[in-house]
Structure 1
């Protein structure tokens, strides 16, 4: 990453942090996040027709309930922890993919 990219990244992060601070719970409830993000990630507009959503929802509910029971988390805290765990899993898979591509290039 170049210095210019790092500076741009810092500006982007600070803009996101500022937007989060300014947003209210009432405003967040009005935003259709799936629709907004599906413009960048089209899978969000189509997966419901391909995936057994109730099955995955049940599994996720069990994980949320487990976090709440084991750690005494609120519903929101359990959701945020699970989201962060999922992000960590995704990040690890991206790192493995990048390493595999680098290995093939050598």
Structure 2
């Protein structure tokens, strides 16, 4: 199972390493957050209690470089905005091998 996502001249290719659990499906959450700055604890609680997501794709994060954002147990890849709004984040569980490939589009 391979998921490919592309935006702003970057490609993130995520190769799930499910060697320990081949029978499990990959759970992907896609969320238009419209600002994640004040919603990270809600997202953390939702993921841990209900969704059990392996990969999380978030658009409209509204994060700037100065903002901290991390969920325990996840690798975080961000593309922050210089302007108001915008911004993207990809979170993948720590046990998923992620390879970042940068290409011009």
Please report the TM-score for the alignment, with normalisation by the length of structure 2. Answer: 0.22
| Structure with the bigger percentage of helix | 1
Q: Could you say which structure has the higher strand fraction?
A: 2
Bigger RCO (CA 8 Å, 6+ sep): 2
- TM-score using structure 1 length: 0.22
